[in-house]
Structure 1
């Protein structure tokens, strides 16, 4: 059964918090060197250009990796932290109102053997894709793909017609934002599917 890709209008809405919530249950895929991998999104975080000091660092990125933030929503915004882990973000809103959503965890469903090989693991566990740096390694995603249009055949997100009920969603503060001040660090813009073994650890 074929499933449609999320259209550009999905990403170009003005509320990144709603987009982050709506991405739960959608399916993220990569196809690199003929290897298809992907899974169900179970954890996200929203970042806004308004009232969110944690976003200011990102808005200063003017090199090739940060260019995706300054285009209409619907592109992969990828960068490294600690010179090691790639984070998979999606640009949202308009080019002059850059917001973003971080994909923090997926439930691996497609290309499991490929993901295990990339992660150097023998069996599937939460260590495979339960965390933003783990899922990008499993998907083979690097900052070289920053700016990739999510309507293409390299990275994309599909709608499998699943609506995650509000009762199954936990919202909480985002991770690692103490540097941005108490107000930004306390915003409940992290979303997880309750009971999923594939979400990253609570903070």
Structure 2
């Protein structure tokens, strides 16, 4: 039976079928549900970044479609998961009509349900505000990996996907801040497409791009 709680109403697909710069700040305060066999974890989004496909040098889709980024070119409301630095997974939500390849990177959030399971997955977290404080920590806490690439976050039947996005409780507009994206270099490095809720303790520290240096041997 569908929930009668307005905060738990699933977001419709057309929520994501908009320009990414509209969707990204509007995702703050929304609830992401990850229901896996070992348990369910829910997270209130507090920090995101927008990536505008072929219009954005910082986007994985800037140079066109590949096997890795194919999900970004598909239907909005689907999950794009990629592997980075040889050890971390990051989770995105696809936006805009098929072919536009824009998406929102989910950077941080507050675990609101399934805290014990999230703690088990993130034993290095010193406190609960650190459980999903950063995109790699978030996917660990939620149990998300590359196997979930392409999953639907707007399923007509919840049994068809482990993910759902709920209405949640968006912050007041005055509490939404924006600034440069984390770790982006070159063109687009200063573009203020990172959005976060002011004062929320789960927001990750901002770090500009730092080139990797080869260690002398």
Q: TM-score, normalised by structure 2?
A: 0.85
2:115 paired with 1:147: no
In the alignment, which of 83, 87, 98 is matched to residue 86 of structure 2? Answer: 83
**Unmatched segments (≥5 aa) in structure 2:** 208-217
User: Per-residue deviation at 1:131?
Assistant: 0.2
Q: How many residues align?
A: 197
Structure 1 runs (4+) deviating above 4 angstroms are 56-61
In the alignment, which of 47, 51, 68 is matched to residue 47 of structure 1? Answer: 51
Q: Which residue of 1 aligns with 2:13?
A: 8
CA distance in 1, matches of 2:100, 2:61: 15
In the alignment, which of 157, 165, 168 is matched to residue 157 of structure 1? Answer: 165
Residue 116 of structure 1 contacts residue 124 of structure 1 at CA under 8 Å; is this kept in 2?
A: no
Q: TM-score, normalised by structure 1?
A: 0.90
Q: 1:187 to 1:32 in 2, by over 3 A?
A: same
User: Per-residue deviation at 1:121?
Assistant: 4.3
> After the TM superposition, which residues 1-203 of structure 1 pair with which residues of structure 2 at under 5 Å, given as runs?
2=5, 3-13=8-18, 15-56=19-60, 60=64, 62-63=66-67, 65-121=68-124, 124-152=127-155, 153=158, 154-160=162-168, 162-178=169-185, 181=186, 183-203=187-207
For each residue in 1:48-83, what CA deviation from the matched residue of structure 2 results, as whole angstroms up to 9, or x when unmatched?
0243111255654522x5221121211000011111
Q: 1:137 to 1:61 in 2, by over 3 A?
A: farther
* Paired residue secondary structure (1:107): strand
Residue 59 of structure 1 contacts residue 69 of structure 1 at CA under 8 Å; is this kept in 2?
A: no
For each residue in 1:3-42, what CA deviation from the matched residue of structure 2 results, as whole angstroms up to 9, or x when unmatched?
11110000011x1011000000100110111410011100
User: Per-residue deviation at 1:167?
Assistant: 1.5
CA distance in 2, matches of 1:195, 1:6: 26
Q: 1:33 to 1:118 in 2, by over 3 A?
A: same
CA distance in 2, matches of 1:165, 1:148: 30
Residue 44 of structure 1 contacts residue 190 of structure 1 at CA under 8 Å; is this kept in 2?
A: yes
CA distance in 2, matches of 1:84, 1:26: 27
Q: 1:7 to 1:59 in 2, by over 3 A?
A: farther
Give the root-mean-square deviation of aligned CA atoms: 1.8
